[in-house]
Structure 1
Amino acid sequence: MTPVLESERLILRGWKREDFPAYAAFCADPERTRHIGGPKNGFEAWTGFSSMAGAWALNGYGMFAVQLKDTDAVAGYVGLWHPPLLDEPELAWSLYAGFEGKGYAVEAARRVQVWAAEDLKLPPLMSFVHPDNLASQAVAKRLGAEPMSPTELRGEPRLRFRHVLPA
């Protein structure tokens, strides 16, 4: 079962079927998905959406829906992505159109960092960021992440960052 985490402005919670239309719109948007494999049709979006929910059963952790406290609006997702091809979980985040530039990604990711360390007893997390994704690089830096050696993921170059827990 997915825990519910809260921060000052956000609720991080499990996925609901009614969250799918916003996720599908995000997946169909070429601008929003250009650094994560490009746009997906509705069936491909459903596969990704379902896999986020299913990861919790397989790993005991996964991606949270990011909901604003003052509305039912889902602003994006944040959490731990850990397919078998990765040696360790990645702290990952994405925001839907209209929710960027408000600090939600940093706030949500910071809450996941604390949860991963305190509840899951995981070591400091890492993140992959596409070299052209300046917004995600800024989030990683605001989280205090340190650059690691670059790598490749899904056949594309990626910058890697190691996070440190906030004091």
Structure 2
Amino acid sequence: MIAPTLHTERLTLRPLALSDFEPLAEFYASDRSQYVGGPKAADQAWRTLACEIGHWTLRGYGRFGVDETSTGKFVGMVGPWFPDAWPEPELGWDLMNGFEGRGFATEAGLATREYAYKTLGWKTAISLVADGNTGSAKVAERMGATWESKLNHHIFGDVNIYRHLNSEAV
């Protein structure tokens, strides 16, 4: 399955593509990626992009590539995600360098939560937020999610589970 295209006030959410590799490689090479498995070498960033695209084939959904509509610049990856060894379906967001602090993760997160609930039929969702990642915790809270518990993830270590409002509440 190929991702549909969604639009918000400032963003275009569309299928991830090879053209997203360079900014992803820059992001994963930086310290900003420390909360999402980085830093990583370029070949590992390539595998991450392939994994994200392949998730659509394996699950029928996945994270979207997010562009700032007015500039066409790649902002990041946001959306529904449920890889192996995850406790349950998640809404996740990774913003590329220079796009943090502008409300893009919240805007795209709300749009993809609506997609997950209305199109995919999800009843609830979580977001996993690494200890110390205060920016992501604030995004979850702005979306109405509340801290639920800690999880010791075998790859990412201690993460916080934020529970989103259920489909009936939004």
Normalising by structure 1, report the TM-score: 0.95
User: Could you say which residue in structure 1 is the equivalent of 2:9?
Assistant: 8
Shift of 1:155: 5.1
User: Could you say which residue in structure 1 is the equivalent of 2:73?
Assistant: 73
Instruction: Give the whole-Å Cα distance in 2 for the aligned partners of 1:98 and 1:86.
Output: 29
Answering whether residue 15 of structure 2 is matched by residue 19 of structure 1, we say no
Runs (5+) with no aligned partner, structure 2: none
Instruction: Give the whole-Å Cα distance in 2 for the aligned partners of 1:85 and 1:159.
Output: 15
Instruction: Give the whole-Å Cα distance in 1 for the aligned partners of 2:35 and 2:105.
Output: 16
Greater Cα offset, 77-86 or 9-18: 77-86
Shift of 1:84: 2.1
1:70-118 Cα shifts (integer Å, max 9, x gaps): 1220011101221121242111001111111110000000000101000
1:56 is paired with a residue whose SS is: helix
C-alpha contact (below 8 Å) 2:63/2:77 kept by paired residues: yes
User: Could you say which residue in structure 1 is the equivalent of 2:37?
Assistant: 37
Shift of 1:132: 0.3
User: Could you say which residue in structure 2 is the equivalent of 1:100?
Assistant: 100
C-alpha contact (below 8 Å) 2:37/2:156 kept by paired residues: no
C-alpha contact (below 8 Å) 2:140/2:162 kept by paired residues: yes
User: Could you say which residue in structure 1 is the equivalent of 2:149?
Assistant: 149
Structure-to-structure mapping, 1:131-146, within 5 angstroms? 131-146=131-146
1:2-53 Cα shifts (integer Å, max 9, x gaps): 11111110011101211111111111112x1111222111111100011110
State the aligned residue count.
166
Instruction: Give the whole-Å Cα distance in 2 for the aligned partners of 1:139 and 1:131.
Output: 14
Instruction: Give the whole-Å Cα distance in 2 for the aligned partners of 1:88 and 1:23.
Output: 25
1:152 is paired with a residue whose SS is: strand
Greater Cα offset, 107-116 or 35-44: 35-44
Instruction: Give the whole-Å Cα distance in 1 for the aligned partners of 2:163 and 2:44.
Output: 30
Instruction: Give the whole-Å Cα distance in 1 for the aligned partners of 2:37 and 2:50.
Output: 17
Instruction: Give the whole-Å Cα distance in 2 for the aligned partners of 1:73 and 1:149.
Output: 35
Identity %: 37
1:140 is paired with a residue whose SS is: helix
C-alpha contact (below 8 Å) 2:36/2:156 kept by paired residues: no
Runs (5+) with no aligned partner, structure 1: none
1:15 is paired with a residue whose SS is: coil
2:36 is paired with a residue whose SS is: coil
User: Could you say which residue in structure 1 is the equivalent of 2:121?
Assistant: 121
Normalising by structure 2, report the TM-score: 0.93
1:35 is paired with a residue whose SS is: helix
Instruction: Give the whole-Å Cα distance in 1 for the aligned partners of 2:38 and 2:54.
Output: 22
Q: Which amino acid aligns with 1:163?
A: H
